[in-house]
A and B are shown apart, each in its own frame.
Chain A
Amino acid sequence: MREIETMNTNEVILLKYGEIVLKGLNRNYFNQLLEKNVRRALKRAPGEYELVYAQSILFVRGKEGCDMDVAAELLKKVFGIVTVCRGIECEKNMDVIYQVLREHGEELLGNARTFKCDAKRSDKKFPLTSPQICTECGAVLLETFPHLTVDVQNPEVTVMIEIRDNTAILHGKREKGAGGIPVGCEGKAMLLLSGGIDSPVAGHMTAKRGVRLEAVYFETPPYTSEAAKEKVVALAKKLAEYAGTIRLHCISLTEVQEAIAANCEERLFTLLLRRFMVRCAEQAAIKAEASALITGESIGQVASQTMLSMVVTDQAAGIPIFRPCIGLDKEEIVVRSRQIGTFEISTLPYEDCCAMFTPRHPNTHPKLEAVLEEEAKLDVEGLVARAMETDNVIFC
């Protein structure tokens, strides 16, 4: 038996591409974009990584100083990848492969109690055939982990042994990737980000479909606090783990709110404010070359989110407003928010909108004419222009 002590093994991560593999002539564009996004995500992990693409699978090979645990967690947040699989690369020699199975079996198997082996050979000169490889490797695993049984029909884990041209790759347990399509392939949108639960979810859903995000947060100092803003920054940073760097525009609406409160009918306060938010967000969007606005609204969730209110709000915008959460119940939004890790931040106890400007009985069936009439009492253009002067960008 050859000397195995000096065996050279390498941890690798295999990323399986999602629906972009179905793309036609654009395929290369999507591949390149996804690879770029993977590289960008790996910048947050320590050390260097090498990427090799083959047959709809991107191999990530750790180099000097790498941390594959951190890398795998980051890669689970890259849109466009459906499966993230940890594996081990070694010399393509059966003795070495057996040794890897013995030493790293637990990592490949996870907590599984049933398994099967599967083998692939691109090197047809390899002395063993695929079925032979499976039989031999299965025997080694059974001997090393007596609690295992083989189940070829419905195994909990399939241990894959791939004999490639230069090396062998072994992998087992797979984890779900983020799905969706690569961020950046669908242009850019401006997300209206509050400190609440819904808007980060709306941002995540949009980014998942390939849209790059910028975000805008409306503050009302001194009625809203610095802590409330920090919470929104934290939310944007969390979203950025999925969507890439987000430019967060912080815009003060204090003057707008005071003007509305001083001049307009109380029942329309919130609606009028929303129309101002949309106007400011649109201006920020145009500057950022974003082509749509995203909000976290869901029909009927609160008094200001009736369908009619949204219709009247939309009239103030010159670009489309998308609302990915439109048909989701609060519970469903909360589930998503927990999954993406924004829930804990969203539920920190800071106010996101000032109590003084919330009408006791908001109008849930607003008429556009009435709203326009109220708005006519205000210097809309001037207020928006002055609000935009407060635009302060934070890179998240």
Chain B
Amino acid sequence: MAYLYFDSAATARPLPEAIDAAGRAYTEYGNPSSLHSAGLAAKRLVDTARTQVAAALHCKPERIVFVSSGTEANNQAIFGLAKIRGKRAKKIITTDSEHPSVAEPIKALEKEGFTVVRLSTKGGALDLAQLEQELQEPVAFLSIMRANNETGAVYDLPGVRKLLTKYGSDAILHCDNVQGFLKIPGDRLGTVCDLITVSAHKIGGFKGTGALYISEKIRNLPAHLSGGGQENGMRSGTENVPGIAAFGAAAEKTASTGLSHTELLREKLLAGLEDSGLIFHIPPVHLPGILHISIPGVLSSWALNLLSAKGICVSAGSACSAKEKKKGNPVLSAYGLPASEIETSLRISFDIWNTEEECAQLCEALRECAKLKR
């Protein structure tokens, strides 16, 4: 079935460049750790990808560690920082709207005795005034996402760095940049953060590959997996060469593509839905390709089912199962949405493949969803 795919924030369609790179890597089947020519050829593919990803992050290639996912990178960063920084300070600063792969490890550390401060992100903006106050005391590390995966809100990481400098804080700054990677014009996160998490499948690479940038400032971050000592000892396990090669190619391609197309589609949809009665949640600074909405009186799951029957794929901003509903949606609560808007929310995310024609169909289908209102 041909989908009308508006869910690139969940996973993006693989780019042809990524598929080509992976295809080459599948035929170049050597083990990058082997010393023979087949091994060296595979190693070259990995190193090329390392350079490509580093260029996209504005950092040095040798500081990139390829891992299996954003989740793995976040876990390695957070548990690792707790270990190397825990003796100096017991305070961790994060936000109230992190992805579970950050929020859960930090919750685990909280149980172990760390003090956790969760900065407010109400309305989609990071509360820097609160951060300023919290920096009066020593801080072990900060973990703040670049862009929110549900609302598309972009948090002011350069502002965070400025405050750290202002107060002479030696706290380490980790950023989960899975959603923001190559989606924010002019972003040079490698010059702002000490640790950065990115993932391949959000930018047109494949699922199963991510990377962690570790700045030179951090020398002794423990490895999450130990064994054969691949990735400079930072991540044992034979490298996923096709996935890594695809990641590099996708990063290079995406960096050169620009973001005006997704931004245009987002604007078109907004204009098309102007008098529809839908509610738009638009953060002050947001990703160009994400639109978060609520359809009053129509549970997300109903809209999702109706759209799905038409082949339209979007994401429910809220949990659609009753079980999860009880837990609520911390991200949207943090944004400040009332329960009635949370349970009726949808996330629409655009990519370069979406057309204006598709956008018009989506617009019409969303208006139809609004009629399910009870």
A224 on interface, CB distance cutoff 8 Å: yes
Closest to B369 in A: A222
Please encode chain A, from 40 to 55, with 1 for each CB lying within 8 Å of some chain B CB and 0 for all others. Answer: 0000000000000000
A186 within 8 A of B: no
Structural contact, B304 and A225, CB atoms closer than 8 A: yes
Min C-beta distance of B10 to chain A, whole Å: 15
Complex-state Cα separation, A356 to B372, whole angstroms? 11
Cα-based distance from A223 to B306 in the complex (angstroms): 8
Whether B323 lies near A223 (C-beta < 8 A) is: no
| Residues in B neighbouring A223, C-beta threshold 8 A | 301-302, 305, 372
Complex CA gap A223/B320 in Å reads: 11
A216 to B322, CA, bound (A): 23
| A350 beta carbon closer than 8 Å to chain B | yes
- Report the nearest B residue to A356, measured CB to CB: B374
Does A359 belong to the interface (CB within 8 Å)?
no
Q: Is A123 an interface residue (CB 8 A)?
A: no
Binary per-residue interface labels of chain B (299-332) against chain A in the complex, 1 for a CB within 8 Å, 0 otherwise: 1011111101100000000001111100000000
Q: Is the CB–CB distance between B305 and A224 below 8 Å?
A: yes
- Is residue A131 within 8 Å, beta carbon to beta carbon, of the partner chain? no
Binary CB contact string for chain B from 251 to 270 against chain A (1 if under 8 A, 0 otherwise) = 00000000000000000000
Residue of A222, A226, A350 near B302 (CB, 8 A) is A222
Set of chain A residues within 8 Å of B323, measured between Cβ atoms: 349
B301 and A225 contact, CB distance less than 8 A: yes
The verdict on A355 contacting B299 (CB below 8 Å), with A221-B309, A222-B309 known, is: yes
In chain A between 345 and 360, which residues have their CB closer than 8 angstroms to a CB of chain B? 349-351, 355-356
Report the count of interface residues on A (CB-CB < 8 A). 12
State whether B308 touches A355 (Cβ < 8 A): no
Are the CB atoms of B322 and A355 closer together than 8 Å? Answer: yes
B321 in contact with A226 (CB, 8 Å)? no
Closest chain A residue to B372 by CB distance?
A222
CB distance from B121 to the nearest CB of A (A): 27
From known contacts A222-B306, A222-B372, infer whether A351 and B301 are also in contact, taking CB-CB under 8 Å: yes
User: Which B residue sits closest to A219, measured CB to CB?
Assistant: B305
Q: Looking at the assembled complex, report how far the CB atom of B362 sits from the nearest CB atom of chain A, in whole angstroms.
A: 16
Query: Would A221 and B305 be within 8 Å (CB), given that A355-B299, A356-B299, A356-B374 are in contact?
Result: yes
- Chain B: residues with Cβ within 8 Å of the partner, total of 16
Which residues does chain B contribute within 8 Å of A351, judged by CB atoms? 301, 320-322
Is there an interface contact between B374 and A225, defined as CB atoms closer than 8 Å? no
* Inter-chain contacts of B305 with A (CB < 8 A): 221-226
Q: Which of B299, B301, B306 has most A Cβ within 10 Å?
A: B301
The complex places the Cα of A189 from the Cα of B322 at a distance, in Å, of: 31
**CB under 8 Å from chain B, chain A span 82-123:** none
Minimum CB–CB distance for B333 against chain A, Å: 20
Q: How far is the CA of A355 from the CA of B323 in the complex (A)?
A: 13
Once the chains are docked, how many angstroms separate the CA of A203 from the CA of B91? 56
Q: Which of B308, B322, B324, B372 contacts A226 (CB 8 A)?
A: B308
Q: Does A350 contact B321, Cβ atoms closer than 8 Å?
A: yes
Q: How far is the CA of A96 from the CA of B255 in the complex (A)?
A: 74
Which B residues from 197 to 253 make CB contacts under 8 A with A? Answer: none
Minimum CB–CB distance from B7 to chain A (whole Å) comes to: 15
Given A226-B308, A356-B374, answer yes or no on A349-B324 (Cβ-Cβ < 8 Å): yes
Contacts of A349 in B (CB 8 A): 321-324
Expressed in whole angstroms, the Cα–Cα distance for A221 and B304 within the complex equals: 11
Tell me, rounded to whole Å, the shortest Cβ–Cβ distance linking B305 to chain A: 4
Cβ distance B184 to chain A, nearest Cβ, rounded Å: 34
Q: How far is the CA of A116 from the CA of B309 in the complex (A)?
A: 64
* Chain A residue with the shortest CB-CB distance to B319: A349
Closest CB of chain A to B338's CB: distance in Å? 18
Query: CA separation between A224 and B302, bound complex, in Å?
Result: 7
Most buried by A among B302, B304, B306, B308: B302
- Which chain A residues numbered 218 to 261 have a C-beta less than 8 Å away from chain B? 221-226, 261
| Cα separation A235 to B139 with both chains bound (whole Å) | 52
Provide the bound-state CA to CA distance between A223 and B301, in Å: 7
Question: From B304, which residue of chain A is reached at the shortest CB distance?
Answer: A225
Alpha-carbon separation in the docked complex, A350 to B323 (Å): 9
Inter-chain CA distance A356–B299, complex, in Å, is: 9
A330 vs B301: C-alpha distance when bound (angstroms): 28
- Can you list the 5 inter-chain pairs with the closest CB atoms, starting with the nearest? A349-B321, A222-B306, A222-B305, A349-B323, A225-B305
Q: Residues of A at under 8 Å CB distance from B?
A: 221-226, 261, 349-351, 355-356
Give 9 CB contacts A-B under 8 Å: A221-B309, A222-B309, A223-B301, A225-B301, A225-B305, A226-B305, A349-B322, A350-B321, A356-B374
